[in-house]
Amino acid sequence: MIDLICGARPNFMKVDPIIRSLSEEVRLVHTGQHYDYSMSGSFFDQLGLPKPDINLGVGSSSITVQTADIMKAYEPVFVQGKPDAVVVVGDVNSTLACVLTAVRYGTPTVHVEAGLRSFDRTMPEEINRLLTDQISDLLLITSSEARQNLLREGRPDDAVVMVGNPMIDTLLRLLPGTERIQVPEEKFGLVTLHRPGNVDNRELLGRILDSLGALAPMHLVFPAHPRTLKNIRNWDLQNRVPSNLKMVKPMDYLSFIRHQQKAEVVITDSGGVQEETSVMGVPCVTVRPNTERPVTCTAGTNVLCPDPLEIPEAVRIQIQKRPDTPPVIPMWDGKAGARIALEIERILK
């Protein structure tokens, strides 16, 4: 039996193609890191994922407390189930917590989406990635630069296998079924902001809102992350929210990818969105000084924009550069799940 861990919204799209491809018995463990329906439950319904076999229900707290709570909740479940391997995806707190638990018992561990590096250790996700990769047995990567990162950190070459991007499997499977979902009739841009470096700084968040206003008359749709919305209210920034920015509730997965597909441009600080827009050929402006997904800049449709004041010009250039056809990124072909399953089954043998 394999324990497959998911805990936060980005994980669900990655575990789905793995579950569909594995012939081994799978126990789906949901840590409850994202715990409300809009951030978690709706994704299981839309992806057609089986309901989790176990929900640890840890809920929200600080990074340290949440990581510790996941380990405390997962250990008795792990001991009782005695899985033959533990598979984690991505870089959330659940990823590190469950790998730490498994290695204490000498159980083989697999990290899907290994080797991604922003080289910014102020990001909690970067610490999760670094530590998870140091203790995992099998490192499955989505792009070639990840191998160099892992080898530079002392991981053996035979532990690293290129499999492609499982999140793209889910995107390519479900995108054709979103055509009936309504999007604005006029041309629009899509905005997502949630990273602490952007939204937990009052001055920076205000400058970003001002720059979004400078994009008028372009209409912008902003499915506001609860964290971002809370800070806008607490810091009394409502008067900085421009008239061309329509703030809406977080979207379910199908609505969100449909809006991405039809947008003139996507302005984001999300890692997964950089990947999805590249595959769809949609211009993307990432409001960050770095990215752990550089392939989206070199082979995709993404550009970094560390200075909020430069957002309008970056948007103009990206729209102008929009490709006639989406770029092709190696192994982002909808078949990563099958390759991942083969590698997991190989390590078990």
Distance of CA 102 to CAs 12, 76, 87, 281, Å?
21, 11, 10, 39
DSSP string, 78-105: HHHH--SEEEEESSSHHHHHHHHHHHHT
Distance CA 29, CA 52 (A): 6
Distance CA 15, CA 169 (A): 10
Task: List the Cα angle 165/11/32 in 5-degree steps.
Answer: 170
Q: Are 344 and 22 in contact (CB under 8 A)?
A: yes
| Amino acid in the structure at residue 242 | P
Number of residues assigned to the chain: 349
Does residue 108 have a cis peptide bond before it, meaning omega lies within 30 degrees of 0? no
Distance CA 260, CA 276 (A): 8
Catalytic residue among 30, 34, 111, 194: 194
Residue 44 is encoded by which pair of tokens? 């299981």
Distance CA 90, CA 98 (A): 12
Known catalytic membership, residue 194: yes
Distance CA 97, CA 128 (A): 9
Of 344, 305, 259, the C-alpha closest to 21 is 344
Distance CA 116, CA 308 (A): 25
Query: Which residues have C-beta within 8 Å of that of residue 188, sequence separation ≥ 6?
Result: 218, 219, 220, 221, 262, 263, 264
Catalytic residues, by residue number, are 194
